Amino acid sequence: MEELRLRTRLVWGPDALGSLGELKGLRVLVVSDGFLSQSGLVRGVMEALGGAETALFDAVRGEPTLEMVAQGVAALQALDAQAVVAFGGGSAMDCAKGLVWYGERRVPLWCIPTTAGTGSEVTAFTVLTDTAHSLKYPLVDDALVPDVAILDARFLEGVPQSVTADTGLDVLTHAAEAYVVVKSNPFTDALAERAFATAYARLPAAFAGDMDAKGEMLFASALAGMAFNAAGLGACHALAHALGAKVHAPHGRVNAVLLPQVMEANAQHLPTAKKYAQLAKLCGLSPNHRALSGALRRLCRRLGIPERLAGPVDLGQVAADAMRDPCMAVNARTFIPSELEAILKGVVG
């Protein structure tokens, strides 16, 4: 038996933020990152929560760690919060998911993404870093699925170009991986195709600052999130988690440098090569996997994403960590560690 669940309620359009009024009278913990809090962007959220008793936890700095989650749990308990609102990119949303998960009781979780993006606002994933062991690992549980996601592209206006580029490549990676993993199905394929084709077509305009394109990227991000939440991710994310914990480069950028290499390795599996060819066709490219990986490399160059990440890194250790990552288990083909090391040699150092 197969099934598809879409649990998160999505809210968008004029006054989508006004839906926060539903939390009136409750104690609400707002989770954000230090930059968004200092920039004043979070103020609009606090105002929309005017009828609630609020506290702000804005200790998220960079990608979330177990220590940040522990601090967040303390803030949750200090307020005895009845709901959590996450405002930010994947880092703030994943930290919020972590603290809701570790809290004493499951409180409603609202997410407002400010990058496009991780799709975390619709997924059962949170990716946390264990700094003591230099490990970054996804936690996957239905209790992590946000209850409500507010999609408001106005918050994306000031996103730096490099963040638009990195996070946009994350959207493309989510869609491309969900499309070929063993659990893909006609519903997730439809979501992934739309997400990939939209992001491929609109990311350059979003990078140039076009607000309509940023809005389309925000929708593509949620579509890709729905696709991978149901189907899973694959080898590229398994490697990106393992490598990201060692090189400390942004998540989307690590995926960006890995994706073309992983596609070429995955395409040795004929049904996967055919699906990549289908994605290439949808993007107006020659229908074969090399056209797709080549186009992604050109897109990265155009967006200023480097072809390699700085080392040195123990590639054998990264390959071993990636083999243990849950995303590897659903990849379309199996890899042995030496094959992963060969991919890594192509992108690090």
Give φ, ψ of 167 to 5 degrees.
-70, -30
Among 126, 188, 266, 272, binds ligand NAD (CB under 6 A): 126
Q: Which of residues 162-201 bind ligand NAD (CB under 6 A)?
A: 163, 167, 170
Whether the CB-CB separation of 144 and 97 falls below 8 Å is answered with: yes
List the beta strands (DSSP E) in the chain.
9-12, 27-33, 53-60, 83-88, 109-113, 125-130, 135-140, 148-151
Among 58, 94, 152, 170, binds Fe ion (CB under 5 A): 170
The answer to the question of residue 58 lying near Fe ion (CB under 5 A) is no
Sequence-ordered list of residues with C-beta below 8 angstroms from that of 291, at least 6 positions apart, any chain = 280, 285
Among 98, 119, 215, 234, binds ligand NAD (CB under 6 A): 119
Question: Cβ 166 to ligand NAD, closest distance in Å?
Answer: 6
Q: Residue 305 binds which one of ligand NAD, Fe ion, none, with CB within 5 to 8 A depending on kind? A: none
Total residues in contact with ligand NAD, by rule CB under 6 A: 30
Count of all residues that appear for the chain in the document: 349
Give φ, ψ of 287 to 5 degrees.
-75, 70
Paired tokens of 234: 């694959």
Decide whether 30 or 98 has the Cβ nearer to Fe ion: 98
Among 8, 37, 65, 123, binds ligand NAD (CB under 6 A): 123
The answer to the question of residue 63 lying near Fe ion (CB under 5 A) is no
Choose among 44, 28, 49: nearest CA to 157. Answer: 44
The answer to the question of residue 125 lying near ligand NAD (CB under 6 A) is yes
Rounded-to-integer distance, Cα 349 and Cα 339, Å: 17
Choose among 204, 200, 242: nearest CA to 220. Answer: 200
Of 41-49, 166-174, 175-183, 288-296: span binding Fe ion (CB under 5 A)? 166-174
Decide whether 158 or 209 has the Cβ nearer to ligand NAD: 158
Task: Enter the DSSP assignment of 7.
Answer: -
The answer to the question of residue 68 lying near ligand NAD (CB under 6 A) is no
- Which residues contribute to the site for Fe ion (CB under 5 A)? 170
Positions that interact with ligand NAD (CB under 6 A): 33, 35-36, 63, 88-92, 94, 114-115, 117-120, 123, 125-127, 155-156, 158-160, 163, 167, 170, 251-252
